[in-house]
C-alpha cells in the first residue's frame, strides 16, 4: 500500500539489526589494528611479564634478610654483582645475606623475592650495602605472569582495539590478529535538483551535500564509503545504480526523497531488489520518521531522509549501529551519552522520540548545559553549531528548563 | 645539575606548549578533510540556499491569498503549473489568485512567498485547488541566503572538521580547503632489555610495548607516527637516532628510562640537541613526574616515562595537546570530560595532581560511576580495563566514596 507508514519504535528498529550478521574475518597486522574489532578471543600464548621484574632501581634481596632492619640498625648485605638491563638476572643466585644491584625492569636473581629502593640503602664499599628499611616478599616486584598468565583471555571477541590493547598484543608477541572486515558502504544521492559540489548549480538546482556528509560519517564510524554519485528521479536509473552498488557493498545508503512522491520511489527501488525484503518503513522518531530499511541476504539498504540534518540523526541512531554490528561490535550507536541540564523549555510530542540538536556549555562547577540550536529542518547552520543530540522519550511531552536529560555527544 | 627535578604544575607545563606554533598549511580536498583543522576562516562565496525553497510538498502561494480561509470556507486558487525538481521556479510568476504545485526543495515561483502543505489542500480539477488553512509569508519556505549569506563566516580558523562541516563546504561549492599540516611524530623506544614484538625475548629481555601503543595514540590524536625502533642504553646511539628522527619530524617521543640512570641519559640526549633547550624536567602529576620537554626551533622532544601506563597518561595530558596545537587547535587534551561518582574512597597526596585509571559503569538512572582499576605501575591489565582517567586536584587529599569527580574519557 503506497505511502502507508507502519511506524515502529526506535527499539523495534534496532532489534531488526540483529537479523544481520557480522562480516567475514581477515588478518591484519597488530600495528594496523587501531579501531578494528577482534573476531576471536585473544588467549595469552605465554606469561607476561616473562620473568619477575623489579619496579624500582635498587637492590634485589631475599626479603627475610631485611626483616627488622632500620635507620639505626641497618641490615648489612654483600653485593655480588649488578644485573644489567636485558641480561639474565636468574643466572645469579642469591645466597642468604647477599644482594645484587638491579634497575627498574631488570630480572630478579634466583631466590631474590623483593627489591629495596635505592633511597633506602647506602653502599659502604664495593662489596657491602646498608639497608635501612625492611621489605616484604614481593615488594617492588612484578612476578612472572602477574599481568597475564599463559592461556588466560587477554581480550575478548568483539573488543574494539584501542592503543593500549595493541600495546598488550605487541607485548605478547602477537603481531597479526583476526578482525572483522570493515563494512563497505555505498552512498547514492537522488534528486533531479542535485549537482555535484564542484559544479555551479543552475536555477532551481542545488549542490549535493549528503554524499560528502554521509561518506565522512561512514568513515568516522569505521566503514569504508564509496560514493556512487547523483541519480535523478528516474526509477530505472535508481534501480540500476542501486543494483550496481549493492553488488560491491555490504550496505547501501539512498538519500533524497524528502517529498512524498520521491519517498515512494525509494520504497519502490528497495522493494524491487531481487531477493530483497523491506523490514521497516517508518520509525517513531523525529527527525527521521520516513526511514526505510531493507535487506537482501546479509546486505542492508537504507532509505534516508533527504534533509541532511534528518539524515544525520538517522545515521547516528540506526546506520551507525549496523556498521558497528557488521564490524563485530554491539548494535548500538557507540556514542558517548552524558546528562546535561536544559537551559530552556523544550517542546516535544507524545508518541515519538525526539532528538534535539543542542550546543553544550558548562556551568562554573562543570555541569553541562544544553541549549537547543533550532532551525528549520532544511537548514545546515544548526548542524554546524550542534555538539550533541538531546533525547526526549516517546512518553514525555516536552522538558522544562533546568531538568537533566540524556545527550548523545556527536563524535 | 644531574637528576635535579624542578617540578612544575600541569598548568605551567601546558602553558609551555604555547611556545610552539601551528605547523605550515596545505590544501586538501574537502572530501578528505575529516578531522583536519582549518587554517583560515571559511567565508561563504555565495548565499545558501541559492534560491528560496519549499520545505514541504504542496502549493506555492502568495500568502495573502490564503488569509481568512478555513475548512468551511476554503480559498480557491488557480493552478498555473508544477515546478519540477531542479527546474527554475522563478521562471513562473504568480499573479494574485494563482498557485503552482511544488515539491520539497523546489524553487519558489516569482512573487510566491509561502507554501501550503498538500494535506491542507484539495485539487478540484486540473485548474483549481481548494486551500483550507491560511499560511503566513515565509511559512514552509527557506529563503535564499537564510542558511548562509554571501560573505558571512561559515567556519572559523581552528575548527576541526566534522562530517556536517564537510557537507556545508560541499554545499557552498568549496571543494578544496586550506588546513594545517598533520604533525609528524617520531617514536623511539630505549632500553637494552627491549626486543621488537616479532622477536622471542631471551632471558631478562622483554618485547617493546611502547612503540606500538604510542604510534596508535599519535594516529588517534591526528598525528602521523613513524617508529624509529629500539635503541639500547648507549648515549651516542640515542643521540644519533634522536638527531635523525628530529630531522624528519615535528616531534620526537623518547620513551624508556624508568630508572634514574636511564632518565639521566634521556636528559643528556635532550640537552645535547643542537640549538635545543630543555623547557621542563619534572611535572607534579602522578603518574608522569619524570616527564621532560625540550624544543629545537619549532620542534618538540618529549622524554616519557618507561612504563607504558605512565607514558599513556603523559601522552593524554601533554603530548596530545601539543599534537593538537601543531594541528591548529587549542593546546588541550581534547578528551571528553564527564563527572562520575566514586564508588570507594580514592587516596591521593597533596601537592600533585593524580590521574587514576577508572572503569565506568552506570547507576539505574544513568549516573556514571567510577571504579579505580588499580595495579602496580608496570602492569598492563589495568590499562585494558580502564575507560577513563579520574582527576584529583593537587590541593585535595583523596576523595571519599560517593562524591562527584571529573573523569577524562579515553577515546
Do A35 and A175 reside in the same domain of the chain?
yes
Q: Are A187 and A225 in contact (CB under 8 A)?
A: yes
A-proximal residues of B, 158-217, CB under 8 Å:
162-175, 191-194, 197-217
pLDDT above 70 covers what percent of chain A? 97
Is residue B123's pLDDT more than 60? yes
Same structural domain, B135 and B67? yes
> Is B57 within 8 Å of chain A by CB?
yes
Longest Cα–Cα distance of chain A, Å, equals 96
Q: Which percentage of chain A shows pLDDT scores above 90?
A: 88
Query: Which among B86, B192, B411 has the least Cβ separation from residue A85?
Result: B192
Per-residue pLDDT, averaged over B78-105, amounts to 94
pLDDT of B251 higher than 60? yes
pLDDT score for B375: 79
* CATH assignment of the domain containing B306: 3.40.980.10
Which residue in the set A51, A107, A142 is minimally distant from B376, CB to CB? A142
Among B198, B185, B384, CA closest to A29: B198
Q: Which residue has the cell 612503540?
A: B211
Q: DSSP code of A392?
A: E
What integer is the mean pLDDT of B289-316? 94
Give CA–CA dist B39/B27, Å, rounded.
10
**The three three-digit cell numbers of residue B189, written as one number:** 623506544
According to the model, what pLDDT value does residue A405 have?
95
Kindly give, in sequence order, each residue whose CB lies less than 8 Å from that of residue B214, ignoring residues fewer than 6 positions away.
A163, B187, B225, B253, B255, B304, B311, B315
Partner A contacted by B138 (CB < 8 A):
no
Q: How confident is the model at residue B132 (pLDDT cuts 50, 70, 90)?
A: very high
Structural domain includes residue A207: yes
- Smallest Cβ–Cβ distance between A107 and the set B83, B204, B411 belongs to B204
* B111-128 average pLDDT score: 94
Task: Name the residue in chain B with its Cα closest to that of A103.
Answer: B259
Please tell me whether residues B319 and B199 are part of one structural domain.
Answer: yes
Pair (A19, A42) in one structural domain: no
pLDDT per position as a tens digit, A305-328:
888 999 999 999 999 999 999 999
The CA-based diameter of chain B, rounded to the nearest angstrom, is 96
Residue A91 shares a structural domain with residue A135: yes
Note the pLDDT of residue A3. 47
Nearest chain B CA: its distance from A103 CA (Å): 6
> Does any domain span residue A2?
no
Residues A318/A293, Cβ–Cβ less than 8 Å: yes
Give how far Cα A323 sits from Cα of A19, A27, A137, B344, Å: 13, 19, 51, 37
Check whether residue A191 and residue A314 sit in a common domain.
Answer: yes
B231 at interface of A, judged by CB pairs closer than 8 A: no
**Which residues on chain B are in Cβ contact (under 8 Å) with A81?**
none
Same domain, B203 and B299: yes
Closest partner CB to B163 (pick from A166, A208, A213) = A213
Q: B241 with B362, same domain? A: no
Co-location of A322 and A230 in the same domain: yes
Give percent of chain B above pLDDT 70.
Answer: 97
Give the confidence band of B376 by pLDDT, cuts at 50, 70, 90. confident
Candidates A50, A115, A163, partner chain B, best to mutate (most B CBs within 10 A): A163
Check pLDDT > 70 for residue B177.
Answer: yes
Does A332 reside within a domain?
no
Local confidence band at A151 (pLDDT 50, 70, 90 cut-offs)? very high
Dihedral over Cα of A347, A350, A356, A362: its sign: positive
- Check B204 against A83: CB less than 8 A apart: yes
Rg (CA), chain A: 31
Domain final position from A309, A327, A345: A327
Q: What is the CATH number of the domain that holds A61?
A: 2.170.190.11
Smallest Cα distance from A275 to chain B, Å: 32
- pLDDT category of residue B258 using cuts at 50, 70 and 90: low
Contacts of A49 in chain B (CB under 8 A): 206, 378
pLDDT tens per residue, range A267-281 = 999 999 999 999 999
Give the CA angle between residues B80, B83, B88 to the nearest 5°: 115
Q: Which of A140, A135, A115 is nearest to A68 (CA)?
A: A135
In a domain, A4, yes or no: no
Contact A204 B233 (CB under 8 A): no
The region that residue B175 occupies, defined by phi over 0 for left and psi between -120 and 50 for alpha, beta otherwise, is alpha
Chain B residues lying within 8 Å of A336, measured CB to CB: 336, 338, 409
Q: Domains in chain A: how many in total?
A: 4
Cβ atoms of A108 and A58 closer than 8 Å? no
- Whether A186 and A269 share a structural domain: yes
Domain boundary among B327, B358, B386: B327
| A chain contacts of residue B336, beta-carbon cutoff 8 Å | 336, 338, 409
pTM of the model: 0.94
pLDDT band at B367 (very low <50, low <70, confident <90, very high): confident
Question: Where does A179-281 have alpha helices with state H?
Answer: 210-220, 235-247, 260-271
> In this structure, is residue A191 part of a structural domain?
yes
- C-beta atoms of A193 and B105 within 8 A: yes
Set of chain A residues whose Cβ sits within 8 Å of the Cβ of B312:
163-164
The residues with which A180 forms a beta bridge, in sequence order, are: A25
Q: Summarize pLDDT for A326-367 with one digit per residue, the tens.
A: 999 988 999 999 999 999 999 998 999 999 999 999 998 888
| Interchain pair B48, A380: CB under 8 A | yes
Question: Contacts for A75-80 with beta carbons within 8 Å, 24 or more apart?
Answer: A75/A130, A75/A131, A75/A134, A76/A124, A76/A128, A76/A129, A76/A130, A76/A131, A77/A128, A77/A129, A77/A131, A78/A127, A78/A128, A79/A123, A79/A126, A79/A127, A79/A128, A79/A129
Instruction: Check pLDDT > 70 for residue B3.
Output: no
Domain end among A142, A164, A199:
A142
Computed over every residue of chain A, the mean pLDDT equals 94
Give the CATH number of the domain where residue A387 resides. Answer: 2.40.340.10
How high is the pLDDT of residue A2?
A: 44
Print the domain residue range for B66: 53-142
Q: Is position B5 within any domain?
A: no
Dist CA A342 CA A386 (whole Å): 14
Q: Is the pLDDT of residue B263 over 80?
A: no
Q: Does residue A40 sit in the same domain as residue A69?
A: no
Chain B, window 237-256: residues with a beta carbon less than 8 angstroms from a chain A beta carbon: none
The residue with cell 623511539 is: B188
Q: How many CB pairs under 8 A join A and B?
A: 286
The residues near B408 (Cβ < 8 Å, ≥ 6 apart) are B316, B333, B335, B336, B337, B355, B388, B389, B391
Q: Yes or no: say if B196 and B230 are a contact pair by the CB < 8 Å rule.
A: yes
Q: Looking at the complex, report in whole angstroms how far the Cα of residue B344 sits from the nearest Cα belonging to chain A.
A: 22
Position B332 in a domain = no
- A269 Cβ contact list (under 8 Å, min separation 6): A235, A238, A239, A242, A254
Tally the C-alpha atoms within 13 A of residue A322's C-alpha that lie toward its C-beta.
27
B142 reaches A (C-beta below 8 A): yes
Taking the mean position of all CA atoms in its chain, how far away is CA A180?
Answer: 14
**CATH code: domain of residue B161:** 3.90.105.10
pLDDT tens, position by position, B92-109:
999 999 999 999 899 999
| Residue B211, C-alpha cell as written in the block | 612503540
What is the grid cell recorded at B397?
587529599
A198 and A302 co-located in one domain: yes
B146: left (phi over 0), alpha (psi -120 to 50) or beta: alpha
Q: Indicate whether B1 belongs to any domain.
A: no
- B275 in reach of chain A (CB within 8 A): no
Closest-CA residue to B100 (of B142, B139, B62, B141): B62
CB contact under 8 A, A106 and B204: yes
Q: Is the pLDDT of residue A369 over 60?
A: yes
Decide if A410 touches B, using CB distance below 8 A.
yes
Look at B204 and A170 and tell me if their CB atoms are within 8 Å.
no
Amino acid at each position: 500500500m503506497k505511502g502507508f507508514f507502519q511506524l515502529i519504535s526506535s527499539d523495534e528498529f534496532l532489534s531488526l539489526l540483529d537479523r544481520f550478521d557480522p562480516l567475514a574475518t581477515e588478518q591484519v597486522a597488530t600495528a594496523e589494528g587501531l579501531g578494528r574489532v577482534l573476531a576471536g578471543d585473544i588467549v595469552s600464548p605465554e606469561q607476561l611479564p616473562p620473568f619477575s621484574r623489579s619496579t624500582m632501581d635498587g637492590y634485589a634481596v631475599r626479603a627475610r634478610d631485611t626483616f627488622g632492619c632500620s635507620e639505626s640498625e641497618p641490615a648489612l648485605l654483600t653485593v655480588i654483582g649488578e644485573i644489567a638491563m636485558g641480561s639474565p638476572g636468574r643466572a645469579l643466585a642469591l645466597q642468604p645475606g647477599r644482594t645484587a644491584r638491579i634497575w627498574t625492569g631488570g630480572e630478579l636473581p634466583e631466590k631474590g623475592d623483593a627489591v629495596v629502593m635505592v633511597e633506602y640503602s647506602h653502599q659502604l664499599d664495593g662489596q657491602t650495602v646498608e639497608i635501612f628499611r625492611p621489605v616484604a616478599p614481593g615488594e617492588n616486584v612484578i612476578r612472572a605472569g602477574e599481568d597475564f598468565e599463559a592461556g588466560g583471555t587477554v581480550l575478548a571477541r568483539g573488543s574494539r582495539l584501542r592503543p593500549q590493547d595493541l600495546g598488550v598484543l605487541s607485548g605478547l608477541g602477537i603481531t597479526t590478529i583476526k578482525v572483522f572486515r570493515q563494512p563497505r558502504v555505498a552512498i547514492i544521492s537522488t534528486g533531479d535538483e542535485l549537482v555535484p559540489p564542484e559544479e555551479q548549480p543552475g536555477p532551481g538546482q542545488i549542490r549535493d551535500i549528503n554524499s560528502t556528509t554521509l561518506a565522512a560519517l561512514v568513515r568516522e564510524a569505521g566503514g569504508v564509503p564509496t560514493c556512487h554519485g547523483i541519480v535523478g528521479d528516474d526509477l530505472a536509473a535508481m534501480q540500476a545504480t542501486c543494483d550496481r552498488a549493492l553488488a560491491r557493498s555490504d550496505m547501501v545508503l539512498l538519500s533524497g526523497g524528502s517529498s512524498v512522491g520521491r519517498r515512494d520511489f525509494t520504497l519502490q527501488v528497495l522493494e524491487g531488489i531481487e531477493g530483497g525484503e523491506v523490514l521497516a518503513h517508518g520509525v517513531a522518531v523525529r527527525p527521521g520518521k520516513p526511514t526505510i530499511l531493507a535487506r537482501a541476504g546479509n546486505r542492508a539498504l537504507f532509505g534516508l531522509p533527504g534533509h541532511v540534518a534528518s539524515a544525520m540523526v538517522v545515521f547516528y541512531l540506526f546506520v551507525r549501529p549496523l556498521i558497528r554490528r557488521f564490524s563485530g561490535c554491539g548494535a548500538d550507536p557507540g556514542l558517548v551519552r552524558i546528562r546535561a541540564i536544559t537551559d530552556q523549555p523544550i517542546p516535544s510530542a507524545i508518541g515519538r522520540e525526539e532528538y534535539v540538536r543542542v550546543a553544550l556549555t558548562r556551568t562554573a562547577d562543570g555541569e553541562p548545559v544544553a541549549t537547543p540550536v533550532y532551525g528549520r529542518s532544511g537548514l545546515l547552520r544548526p548542524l554546524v553549531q550542534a555538539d550533541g543530540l538531546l533525547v526526549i522519550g516517546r512518553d514525555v511531552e516536552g522538558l522544562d528548563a533546568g531538568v537533566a536529560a540524556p545527550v548523545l555527544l556527536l563524535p
